[in-house]
Structure 1
Amino acid sequence: MVEKKLLITKDYIEVPVMTESELMTLEIIQQEKNSQSKICEFQVPMGNEAGVFMPDYFARFSVKEYKGKTLLLKGCASERFFDMIRQVDCEFEQSDFDFSKEEQLRPKYHFTAAKGWINDPNGLVYSDGVYHLYFQYNPFDTRWENMSWGHATSCDLIHWTQHETVMYPDENGYMFSGSGFVNKNGCLGLPEDTLMFYYTAAGKCRPWTTKRLSTQRLAYSLDGGKTLIKTDKGVVPTISHENRDPKVFWHEKTKAYIMIMWVEGNEFAILRSENLEKWELSQKFELEDGFECPDMICLQDKDSMHWFITTADGYYYPGEFDGYSFKWNGKKHCLYMNKVPYAAQTYSNTDGRTILVPWIRVNFPGRKYTGAMGVPRELGLTKIDNEFRITLKPVKELQSEFEKHSFKIKDMTVFVDNGIVEVTADCDTMLGVYDV
């Protein structure tokens, strides 16, 4: 076990990452005069004693709140690994977005993180002219681990800027998927423009939290989404040990917040709350082949509203919703033609527009990042065989760019974006990958 003490004088510590090497635990502990308290722990590929120690990249961890204090870093790694840990003043540097061949091949319209692994889109909310995209993030490797919430923003759904990571794993577990909305009802004594985020704190992921079950918890932002503050208010206790992925929205007709989340197997739950403080279970139900990351979507035509539940694989289930329970009509459809898109979520607070973003399960061999987000799609309705179905089209903001970089094959439109191919046909969307 190697230890390193750091008197914190800057905003971030920078940790070397040796991708594809063995994962080891890095503990970060705050030292007080007579006590120690663990801040967090990460699984980091630290390399080994053999060979030349050349990090593939550096990952940065915010330590702003510990300035002037001493942190102890511990792990079963080489002295060389700990010697390379240093303090820096910014989350991203120009070198993170250089003009190497790798960067020239980076997708232009499908968001990718500067470095590390990304998966599910989280907390999609539009506020004050800004689209916020939070996402499952591992800054410390190009593989899944250390689930945190990364953050990016856009004003046009085309150009995205990555910002500081907003939530890291803590004593309650990893930061799994969740959703965002604006606190228009002024709940919990917070201002009406507060951004609210429900997420899953996933226990049992690592020895530090192995005795914890998964709970649904709340964080909020008072600075326009830049920083998220976790709170113990409004916690939803465990229904099943891995229940997760809360999607929360306001149901005007019954004057309540609705939470839909995955429970286990093909089972989902709907909960209600009038004030975000106390939640009551309203319904548990099953959906054929449905699994995790649910979203409940209401699309309106001239005469009526049409409700759908979507799940991670892109299946969607038409039905009726009265604010208390969802009545599925027994039919199942799919948004996609293959399994590349996953865990899609729709934006909140978009004034009648329903904008969807999926995670694209792609690898980029030899690069410092894994995974991408799909281009934003606007949902609509069409009628097929006397049944309303969901349509997907690139958002209007992207339409001209989409046309510039696409071509037609019979009745299909093929959109090419540096390693990602999107094929649109009729009302369905398929995403595939080609080798660049």
Structure 2
Amino acid sequence: MKKLTLPVTSGMKFDIWLKRSRENSSPLLQFSAGGEIIYAIKKAADYHQYFTYTHYSDQPLTIEWDEDAADISLFYYWLSETLAQEGVTFLISDTHTLYPVGRSKMVDWYSKESLRPALHFSPFINWMNDPNGLCKIDETYHLFYQYYPHSTEWGPMHWGHAASEDLYHWRHYPVFLQPEQNLEALGATGGAFSGTAFQERDGKLRFWFTERLPAYDLYKGYREVQKCATPGPWLDKVESVKQVLSELPAGVGCDFRDPKVWFDGEKNHYFMLLGASVDGDPAALLFTSEDSDEWTFDHVLWRADSHFREHGGRCVECPDFFSINGKWVLIIGIVGYTEPQTGRHNLLYAQTGDFNSGRFTPDDKPLQTLDFGTDFYALQTFRDGQQILGFAWLYNWASKKSAASVYSGEMSLPRRFMLNNHGALCMQPLLPPEACVRQRTDHHQACQNGLLHLSVDRQQSFSLKLTGEDISRLLLTLNGETGEQAELCYAENWLTLRAECHDEGQYGAYVEKIETLELFFDAGIVEVFANEGSHCGTRRYFHLSYCNELTLKYNSSAQITTARLTQYRSIWEQ
């Protein structure tokens, strides 16, 4: 029996996901105050169930858990009035006891694993994928995300939630959405899939998402419907959920998900964009509504040519659509597609064009591959004043992290979106705040005869920014302590991220010339931004947790004008 006594405040709430692991006669979990049992879970199923308790007393609370008879996958508590400042406090089990991990202890928790990033957001425990519901309410940013609370592997989808004032220093919030049914009990998959936030002109916030109803096959035969959730006043829980769209247009298969919703003030109606397939071709569908409750299919806004279907593309996922300086940008991920020339899969694309009278007219340009490294998927953007910001899931199913890890999944660095002089979409990193900077040094004067060596604190995340002229060849090598390496190479106008034995140099892009280059390294995460974000590459290397040396080689005729190394603190430091 594990036991913990907590000082509490009246109104404190507890969320618990628990399952019975063997027969029991005494309570699996009980709360006591003043010598009396005030809440107990006496019976539970052999699958995880959700329990919640609100404590209406200021007396210290004693929690007792029979760990031999019950498994707890997630356990936390919070006070609504202080949630925005403190977030939730998790209860974690070690060999002997339960112990709390609140905001002040997060840096210790996040420092336990060598492959846990210091700059990139990751869940406290268990599985995370797509960013959802990105929004800014007053001065606080909210990041919702696809979450499975019972394992580090993908499972029935929930929505996790975190909040920040700068998109780097986060506070964990309670789980926001759960599947409408207990899918673990049914032996099924599905749940609360991806979606977006929309704030009405009167300030009312709502969330639009897809519910995949209980499914028993990951690739066919499932049903997906669209729902709208209204949050409670503290943004800690959902107040109400209603289904708003279920009917499939003609030719649309079972993939019908990931709504993007916005309001058109000129036309005085709502639009909803959904990912789908039409007669087997990946497509994005447009729906309209006058009241956001009743939706009508309008037309197929975009449809992939047969090339994508012929190479495994099943449907469009996580479509996004936004305007920049009068030009509209469509973002699409094509799940299942494998690029025949390189073997890269699940690529993310952008298509610019015009959106007039409810019709999207693409520019006469090919699809733009957004990230040549491909560990950048399910991008979601949101508007913050005059700028477009966004995150993507920094993972693409191709690699596996250690089974001993307590979590899986990270977000990219926050990115800012703009169009360059050629009308292509650029993604620039939103730089970490100064509070995250441990040290910044410029080494351009040390660049001599086409060579630069730099030492890095092995436990630090860092960025290296290069600017220069007449760069025709460049090789930046990230060296680990025991010979592990990753390389960024520029030769013959081709920029490539590669790692020996982990890829074959297929992760690259044509770049006419290099003017600026910025690389971020964070516990095996590499994000590259060339020419102010005109070319971006993201890779997740699980073989390279630390980098203690950088070697830069380049053509001796080039002039390096900036070589700025910035080392960062953990975003979880107070």
**1:247 to partner: Cα distance:** 0.7
Report the alpha carbon displacement of residue 296 of structure 1 after superposing the two structures with TM: 0.3
State the distance in 2 between where 1:193 and 1:274 align.
18
CA distance in 2, matches of 1:415, 1:274: 45
Aligned CA distance change for structure 1 residues 345 and 129 (closer, same or farther; 3 Å): same
SS for the counterpart of 1:346 is: strand
Of all paired residues, the percent bearing the same amino acid is 25
| Residue 278 of structure 1, aligned match among 265, 280, 294 | 294
Deviation at 1:103, TM superposition (A): 4.6
Q: Distance in 2 between matches of 1:42 and 1:17?
A: 5
The whole-number CA distance in structure 2 between the counterparts of 1:425 and 1:297 is 23
* Map of 2:70 onto structure 1: 83
Partner of 1:241 in structure 2?
A: 254
The DSSP-based 3-state class of the residue aligned with 1:102 is coil
1:178 aligned onto 2:195: yes
Secondary structure at the residue paired with 2:112? helix
* Residue 25 of structure 1: aligned partner: none
Which string of whole-angstrom CA distances, capped at 9 and with x for unpartnered residues, describes residues 331-368 of structure 1?
A: 210211121000000024x2221001100007542310
Distance 1:408 1:86, change over 3 A: closer
Aligned positions, number? 364
Once the 2 structures are TM-superposed, how far is the Cα of residue 17 of structure 1 from its aligned partner?
Answer: 11
Q: Match for 2:538 among 427, 431, 435?
A: 431
Q: Is the 8 A contact 1:194 1:222 kept in 2?
A: no
334-343 or 225-234: which moved more? 225-234
What secondary structure, in the 3-state scheme, does the structure 2 residue paired with 1:354 have?
strand
Task: Give the CA deviation at 1:421.
Answer: 1.5
Q: Which amino acid aligns with 1:229?
A: E
Q: Provide the residue aligned with 2:187 in structure 1.
A: none
Aligned-pair RMSD on alpha carbons? 3.4
Shift of the 104–233 alpha-carbon distance from structure 1 to 2, 3 Å rule, reads same
Q: Is residue 122–residue 179 contact of structure 1 (8 Å, CA) maintained in 2? A: yes
Structure 1: give runs of 5+ residues left out of the alignment.
1-8, 19-39, 45-59, 68-78, 185-191
Residue 168 of structure 1 deviates from its aligned partner by 0.9
1:151 deviates by: 0.3
Task: Give the AA of the match of 1:168.
Answer: Q
- Structure 2, unmatched stretches of 5+, are 1-11, 22-43, 57-65, 78-88, 92-99, 184-189, 309-314, 334-346, 441-461, 467-473, 475-515, 546-574
Q: Are the counterparts in 2 of residues 115 and 369 from structure 1 also a CA contact under 8 Å?
A: yes
Q: Does 1:307 align with 2:328?
A: yes
**Per-residue deviation, 1:420:** 1.2
The TM-score normalised by the length of structure 2 is 0.57
In 1: Cα distance, 2:123 partner to 2:411 partner: 9
Matches within 5 A, 1:137-152: 137-152=147-162
Aligned position for 2:271: 258
- Secondary structure, aligned partner of 1:291: strand
Which residue does 1:407 correspond to in 2?
464
CA distance in 1, matches of 2:193, 2:45: 16
TM-score, scaled to structure 1: 0.74
Per-residue CA deviations over 1:368-405 (Å, capped at 9, x if unaligned) read 01010011111111122xxx111111125658958952
CA contact (8 A) 1:295 1:309 kept: yes
1:59-109 per-residue CA deviation (whole Å, 9 max, x = no partner) reads: x94524899xxxxxxxxxxx9764345996626244484736525652122
Question: How is 1:29-428 mapped onto 2 (pairs within 5 angstroms)?
Answer: 61-64=50-53, 82-85=69-72, 90=77, 92-93=90-91, 94-95=100-101, 97=106, 99=108, 102-103=112-113, 105-171=115-181, 173-184=190-201, 192-206=202-216, 213-232=223-242, 234-239=244-249, 240-264=253-277, 265-284=281-300, 285-288=302-305, 289=308, 291-300=316-325, 305-312=326-333, 313-330=347-364, 331-348=366-383, 350-361=384-395, 363-365=400-402, 366-384=404-422, 388-395=423-430, 398=433, 404=440, 405-408=462-465, 411-426=516-531, 427-428=534-535
